[in-house]
Amino acid sequence: MKFSTKEDIEAPIDAVFDMLCDFESFERAAMRRGAEVQRLDQFTKPAVGMKWQAVFEMRGKKREVEIEMVTFDRPTEMVFESRSSGLLGEMSFELVPLSRKRTRVMVTLEVKPLNLSSRLMIQSMKLAKSSLTAKYKLRVAEYANGMEERYRRDTASRA
């Protein structure tokens, strides 16, 4: 099952990419939502091979997922693979400069089942695909708006 969307952000490509590389803020956001997040690598700068382990509750069950950065091509692309007991996921961020101060971000999420129970879960998700797609697009749009605001705030404070 695949979800994708794109958003245009009023910020230069390097600034957008740097904000997407703020992994500590993603970790904190997941923890605020009740997840336990742990870095599994020792990298000090973003690089292929970065890994996280997350444990969270979903639908009344404890879920565990391992996430690894598999592509890092500054400033145009990042790809993450996630693996849990029944699902394999891939999330990619592709950035395209539209002008010096405007960037298009394409965000794609693909989830593949690894066993029968996951296949049934994906099948039920397909029945609700239109509402899930709408929620996905809304979350990405909200995050893109937040990035724009953060960029404006940062540039205003430097001026």
Instruction: Give pLDDT tens digits for 55-104.
Output: 998 878 899 999 999 999 999 999 999 999 899 999 999 999 999 999 99
Q: Check residue 95 and give its pLDDT.
A: 98
pTM: 0.92
Name the residue range of residue 122's domain. Answer: 2-158
Q: What is the CATH number of the domain that holds 101?
A: 3.30.530.20
Structure tokens at 88: 């394999």
Strand order in the sheet with 2-9: 2-9, 102-113, 87-99, 77-84, 61-73, 51-58, 36-39
Please give the tally of structural domains in the chain: 1
